[in-house]
Structure 1
């Protein structure tokens, strides 16, 4: 159990010896050794957590995330020692003004575009013999995404501020093609007219937004453990309270983790219940389960199979090493 995900109202988390004790309505429902947990995510109101649990989590390196009912992270508890690194963060700040920041920004967009194409190829291969029209339409979208990568490669400049609008232009036009392909895949399963972000009331967008919130927590923890500053990004602009580096690194993992989990869920007959234009508690639990399963799935990375959640940590360390001048950064690419 690398991650404990709490979605029930009224749950209490306490400590007994070296174990985390989970109670519902005063009854013990689970006991887990702290050494077996990497993260605790609380995605419900009315959950209590003791000071003893917080201290044990800090000492054991267990991160505690808090999400709203829509999946938006609003708090995170980590050990203060995680912010004690200096060299990596100094180089991260300096990189914003030189070619490193631009190179990384292009990598983040490249990874997103290629993984979007790979995800469409993944779903298309199962339609090749059963729906040739859909298969050809999906292949056409993949070609458009691959052309976007070529356009991205031609963008040059001194720093990220010079070319950010051009990067977002490429990414935005590609997104229209990509979400159009997702709509093709979901046709006949669930209504989806396009991507919406905050306040989305339809099941697909609500599920995607909730899944992205879970992914943000994973990325944020990995960034912190790698000694990076989560609020000093490159592709995404600075704004108070905006973890721009977390958003940067999330880009290349969105299609491989959340999009794949959600599209698979709906195309296999999954349904989502909405209550007051929000995901029901049962739906939040199901989406969390699907995304966490995907994080525990394996992908190739540097010639070996690793869990996706492990790859996120390795990619964060690779990013830190690049900023220190100790190696090359390449975007993570999922298989199809």
Structure 2
């Protein structure tokens, strides 16, 4: 099993990335603020950066460290990676299956079924643990409806039908999302799921966490030789990591949604950590973004028992495990793709 390494998040806007031998350096006005051996890293994510040396980029490519660049608000801008890994036959199979309606539909059902089941689990957990303060009738109705949607997925004939069911499930899920918020309810109230830009604090937080998850999934897919751009459910679009978005669907509730709720309910973040811009967009301040990144890294270290492997692994390895299982299915080593179900 692959060893869980670290992802370096660079949030200082005037930081310059360089290297000294096998060490990654972060410089601010010629002063070295941080140094870490490259072999301890699996990825570097820069939020609003002053620059990076070509030598550092070469080192990252040579050592298989994914280097991603985002705006200070978390919008993806670009990515530097090394040679494409994996067997070319695996990618050729991936491309053929992506164009095959039957194969693409079958895999899409698996991704979305896991997403709905994991979303239901999150709603069911809050009803079980806090049944005295939530609207049980609404939650019970939504949980029952989402169970029916999982059954309907098995009869979905194509991607359009699956996307329709997924959209319906997301509507009911996010309509009940406020019930997961047990403290700071007024400050973190969701009217609906929105983005580009997010117009409330909870959507700003979720969008940021989804960006972090996307980085993890893209890196995982590339590490096993799959093309993150060619998916089965999400349509091809220049610059869109469609396969990463497919795999992300089953991971969003446990990785991002649950962490967002925990940060709010434990008051690790507060309303004054967000800024409302003139156009209505809500963005996170630097100190809150750093707090979220620390919590994200800690969460990745938590051990879980993987439902398919039945082995204990750090949560941060789940994207890699799912990418590996998908690759094995495409090669014919597994009869079907086993998605990640949160128990």
Q: Identify unmatched segments of 5+ residues in structure 2.
A: none
1:334 equivalenced with 2:314 (yes/no): no
Aligned counterpart, 1:19: 23
1:323 equivalenced with 2:323 (yes/no): no
SS at match of 2:69: strand
Mapping 1:245-284, distance limit 5 Å: 245-269=243-267, 270-271=269-270, 272-274=273-275, 276=277, 277=281, 278-284=283-289
- What's the CA shift for 1:19? 1.8
Post-superposition Cα deviations, 1:71-123, rounded to whole Å, max 9, x if no partner, equal 222211111243x6311111111112153211110011011101111122233
Larger displacement relative to structure 2 (105-114 or 169-178): 169-178
1:78 equivalenced with 2:81 (yes/no): yes
C-alpha separation between the residues in 2 aligned to 1:211 and 1:296?
16
SS at match of 1:38: strand
Larger displacement relative to structure 2 (313-322 or 49-58): 49-58
Q: Is contact 2:16-2:49 (8 Å) kept?
A: no
Q: Is contact 1:43-1:71 (8 Å) kept?
A: yes
C-alpha separation between the residues in 1 aligned to 2:21 and 2:164?
55
Aligned counterpart, 1:38: 42
TM-score (norm 1): 0.90
1:292 equivalenced with 2:297 (yes/no): yes
C-alpha separation between the residues in 1 aligned to 2:139 and 2:52?
47
SS at match of 1:285: helix
- What's the CA shift for 1:135? 4.6
- What's the CA shift for 1:275? 5.2
Mapping 1:1-336, distance limit 5 Å: 2-46=6-50, 48-82=51-85, 85-96=87-98, 97-128=100-131, 130-131=132-133, 133-135=134-136, 137-155=138-156, 157=157, 163-186=158-181, 187-188=185-186, 190-269=188-267, 270-271=269-270, 272-274=273-275, 276=277, 277=281, 278-301=283-306, 302-327=309-334, 328-335=336-343
Instruction: Provide closer, same or farther for how the CA distance between residues 275 and 52 of structure 1 changes in structure 2, counting only shifts above 3 A.
Output: farther
Q: How many residues align?
A: 325
Instruction: Provide closer, same or farther for how the CA distance between residues 332 and 228 of structure 1 changes in structure 2, counting only shifts above 3 A.
Output: same
Post-superposition Cα deviations, 1:120-171, rounded to whole Å, max 9, x if no partner, equal 223333203x42x43554343222222211111232x4xxxxx222111211
Q: Is contact 1:299-1:334 (8 Å) kept?
A: no
Q: Identify unmatched segments of 5+ residues in structure 1.
A: 158-162
C-alpha separation between the residues in 2 aligned to 1:33 and 1:69?
25
C-alpha separation between the residues in 2 aligned to 1:294 and 1:116?
18
Post-superposition Cα deviations, 1:18-74, rounded to whole Å, max 9, x if no partner, equal 22222334332222111111111001232x222222222222221111112332222
C-alpha separation between the residues in 1 aligned to 2:15 and 2:195?
29
C-alpha separation between the residues in 2 aligned to 1:140 and 1:212?
27
Post-superposition Cα deviations, 1:251-283, rounded to whole Å, max 9, x if no partner, equal 111111111111111122221311523222222
C-alpha separation between the residues in 2 aligned to 1:249 and 1:181?
24
C-alpha separation between the residues in 2 aligned to 1:21 and 1:93?
39
Q: Is contact 1:73-1:216 (8 Å) kept?
A: no
- What's the CA shift for 1:333? 1.1
SS at match of 1:143: helix
Q: Quick one: higher RCO (CA 8 Å, sep 6+), 1 or 2? A: 1
Q: Is contact 1:67-1:213 (8 Å) kept?
A: no
TM-score (norm 2): 0.88
Q: Is contact 2:39-2:63 (8 Å) kept?
A: yes
